Structure 1
Amino acid sequence: MILDTDGTKPIYMQIAEWLETEILQGKFNADEKIYSQYQLADLFNINPATAGKGLAMLLEEQILYKKRGLGMFVTEDAKVQIRHRRINQTLKKLVQEVVIEAQHLEVGEEELVSMIQESIRKGEQK
């Protein structure tokens, strides 16, 4: 992953989202130790405090938990929580934006569904 340092999204949020994606993809499982703030800082060439802020965000959202002296670990239901939040906050918003744009362009439901199905097929071929 390459951080977007010129974008509007803070780097610590990008770090948190990247870690969430790693969890969703099964690279970190429940009760497994996750990167430390110093490992993240080295990995992305950022300030350790920035990396720590991303970890703190996931700790606050109960995606991660701390074991004193050992580091941070993935919670039992992290994957379910991340998936639920991303569906409700991100995916539904994106779908609504696509539907509104389709209406502006007078793209019918059938054509829109066909476009979505084509995108899914192209994604499966990768």
Structure 2
Amino acid sequence: MKNQLDESKPIFLQIKEQLEDSVINESIKQGERVPSTNEFASYYQINPATAAKGINELVHEGILVKRRGVGMFVTEHAKTILIKKRKKTFYDNYMLPLKSEARKLHISKEELLEMVNREGNNSYED
């Protein structure tokens, strides 16, 4: 768990994203138990309902599964689901605006690919 939460976004989203990142980077593997809402609440000194909101969203998305009396566990396909979701978000948030700006600047696909593949020198002169 991260040492502290910040004010940049709602706490439940930070908990949700922290769990997502842990599944993607496999610090929490499929089938493993994740911290409970009470563990999150105690660690971060927050209301358990706040932690539950982030965890419940992951249950709804098929990332976690509740096992009554035992806890929350990472599902078999959690990493695949998260990577697919993050790729779509990446495309929507970065690629679509990039392509739109490239069209405005009359940058061809070839030039754009060249820019993406360029290493080192970050300047572009043309």
* Superposition TM-score, scaled by structure 1 size: 0.78
Q: In structure 2, list runs of 5 or more residues that go unmatched.
A: 120-126
Q: Which residue in the other structure is 2:46 paired with? A: 46
Q: Which residue in the other structure is 1:107 paired with? A: 107
Q: Which residue in the other structure is 1:82 paired with? A: 82
Distance in 2, matches of 1:3 and 1:62, equals 25
Offset at residue 64 of structure 1 (A): 0.5
Q: Where has structure 1 moved over 4 Å in runs of 4 or more?
A: none
Q: Structure 1 residues 48 and 115 mapped into 2: Cα distance closer, same or farther (>3 Å)?
A: farther
Distance in 1, matches of 2:115 and 2:39, equals 41
Residue 92 (1) aligns with residue 83 (2): no
Offset at residue 43 of structure 1 (A): 3.8
Offset at residue 99 of structure 1 (A): 1.1
* AA partner of residue 92 (structure 1): Y
Tell me the alpha carbon deviations over residues 41-67 of structure 1, each in whole angstroms, 9 at most, x when there is no partner: 344443222111101111111111111
Larger radius of gyration: 2
Aligned residues: 116
Q: In structure 1, list runs of 5 or more residues that go unmatched.
A: 120-126
User: Aligned to 2:69, what secondary structure does the other structure show?
Assistant: coil
Offset at residue 73 of structure 1 (A): 0.3
Structure whose residues are more often helix by fraction: 1
Distance in 1, matches of 2:23 and 2:54, equals 14
User: Aligned to 1:99, what secondary structure does the other structure show?
Assistant: helix
* AA partner of residue 63 (structure 1): I
Over aligned residues, Cα RMSD in angstroms?
2.1
Distance in 2, matches of 1:14 and 1:111, equals 37
Q: Which residue in the other structure is 1:67 paired with? A: 67
